[in-house]
Structure 1
C-alpha cells in the first residue's frame, strides 16, 4: 500500500560521502590501523560516488572487522543491502546492530522494513513500535497500526489509530497511495488512519461504523480512491 520512498529518505539522511569525516572513530590501536581506516574510508567514498556497490560493501566489512565497536559501519552496510533489495541480509545486519544498540534509529528502520518485505510481519511490528517511541514519527505509528490490523490485532490497531487521529500533525503529514491509473496520490495521515479504522470495522462486520469511518476519511480527502472503493464494498 505504501511506497518505500519514505524509508529510503530516512535512511539516507546523514549518509553523504563526507559522513565519515564528520564522525570520530574509536581510537585505533596503532597508527597503522588509523591509516588503514582512513584509506578504506576514502575507497568506500569513491566506490559510492562511482556506484560500485560491491567494492563499497567490501570496504565496510574491512572497517567493521577492524573497528568492531563502531556501529556506523554496519549501519551503512545494512542500508546498502536494503537499497539493493537484499532484504534478508539487511535484516540480519540491522538485527545484529540492535543487539548492541537497541536505540539505533537507522537499524530499527531497516529491520522493520526489511522484515516486512520478507513477510515476517510479526517480527517487523515491534521494530515499528520501538521506532515510533524513539522518534515520535507518525509514519512509523501508521505502519505499526497497519501491521497490527494485518495480524488481526484489532484492539491494538485501534489504539494506534486513535493516537494518530488525535495528533495534530496527522492532518499535515501525508502518505503516498497507489491509484487505478498506476500513479500515486498524497493522502493525509488522518484520512489514512480513518480508512484503516473503517477496514477494522468492516472485518468485524460492523458496517455502519465502517461506513462512518470511510465517510470521515473522504471528507478530509474527497479523491481518496482506496477509501471510495472500500465504501462501495459495504454499500
Structure 2
C-alpha cells in the first residue's frame, strides 16, 4: 500500500528531481551548440550542483537564471527553478516558473505538479484545477484525480465533482492506496482513497441539499474505514 500526503509527496518528487537533474541537463546540451556556450553551460551546471550540495539555494537559482537566459528553449531549467521555489515555500514564484516551463513543454509532469500544488497553496483553485486534470490524463495518477474532484467540489462544480468521484470509486487502485487526513487531536490518520472519495461524495450531496444521499455516502465511507474520523463527524453533523 502507498501512503500519500500530497505536500510530502511533492517534496519527495522535488528531491528526486534534483538528484536526477544534473544528468538530464547534461544530456540536453545540443550537439551544434557553440563551444563557448557549451563550456559556460557546463561550468554553470557544475556550480548549480555544488550549490545544491551545500544547500545554497540563492547561488543555485542564480545559475539557473543564467542557464535559462543562455538556453531559452530548454524547458529543464525553468522546471528546476520552479522546484527550487516550491521547496522553499515561495509558491507564487514556483507557479510562475512552472507555467513558463509548461509553455515550452506542456507535458512536463514535474512542472505540472509544481504548478498544480503551488496554485492551490495560493488559493487560485480555478487555475490549479486544470493542472490536476492534465496530470491525471497524462499519468493516470489516482491522487491527481482525487485533487481534481476536491477542487471541483470547492468550486461548486458539483456534477463534475460527482463524475470524478465515481471514476475514483470504480478504480481498483482506490481500495489499495491511502490518503492522510487530520484528526481532532492533531494526529493524522490514513484511509483508502475510495473511503475519502465517498466522504467527499457525501459533502457534495450535502451542499446540494440531498441529505439522504449524503448520509448513504458517509455510511459507505465508514463501511470501508470505520474509524474515519472526518466521515464520522460529517455523519453526526446530519
TM-score by length of 2: 0.93
Q: Which residue number in structure 1 is paired with residue 232 of structure 2?
A: 228
Q: Superposed, which structure 2 residues align to 1:64-213 within 5 Å? A: 64-213=68-217
Counterpart-to-counterpart distance in 1, 2:141 and 2:6: 17
SS of equivalent to 2:184: coil
Greater alpha carbon shift after TM alignment, 24-33 vs 144-153: 24-33
In 2: Cα distance, 1:76 partner to 1:194 partner: 36
SS in 2 for 1:11: helix
Q: Separation in 2 of the partners of 1:89 and 1:76?
A: 12
Q: Answer yes or no: is the 8 Å Cα contact 1:25–1:70 preserved in 2.
A: no
Secondary structure at the counterpart of residue 13 of structure 1:
helix
Q: Are 1:12 and 2:15 an aligned pair?
A: yes
Deviation per residue, 1:146-189 (Å, 9 max, x gap): 00000000000000000000000000111111111211111110
Residues 117/152 of structure 1: CA separation in 2 closer, same or farther (3 Å cut): same
* Structure 1 stretch displaced more, 175-184 or 159-168: 175-184
Q: In 1, Cα distance between the equivalents of 2:182 and 2:32?
A: 50
Taking the TM superposition and a 5 Å limit, the aligned residue runs for 1:19-38 are 19-22=21-24, 23-27=27-31, 29-38=33-42
Q: Which has the higher contact order (CA 8 A, sep 6+)?
A: 2
Q: In the alignment, what sits opposite 1:53?
A: 57
Cα distance, 1:230–1:149 mapped onto 2, change above 3 Å: same
SS in 1 for 2:233: helix
The SS at the match of 1:115 is helix
Q: Alignment partner of 1:4: what SS?
A: helix
Q: Any unmatched runs of 5+ in structure 1?
A: none
**Superimposed CA distance per residue, residues 91-132 of structure 1 (whole angstroms, 9 cap, x where no aligned partner):** 111111122221111111111111111111111111110110
TM-score by length of 1: 0.94
In the alignment, structure 1 residue 219 sits paired with structure 2 residue 223: yes
TM-fit CA distance, 1:28: 5.8
Stretches of structure 2 lacking an aligned partner (at least 5 in a row): none
Secondary structure, counterpart of 1:194 in structure 2: helix
Distance in 1 (alpha carbons) for counterparts of 2:208 and 2:16: 40
Q: CA RMSD in A?
A: 1.4
CA separation in 1, counterparts of 2:178 and 2:195?
A: 9
Please give the alpha-carbon distance, in whole angstroms, between the structure 1 residues aligned to 2:101 and 2:6. Answer: 25
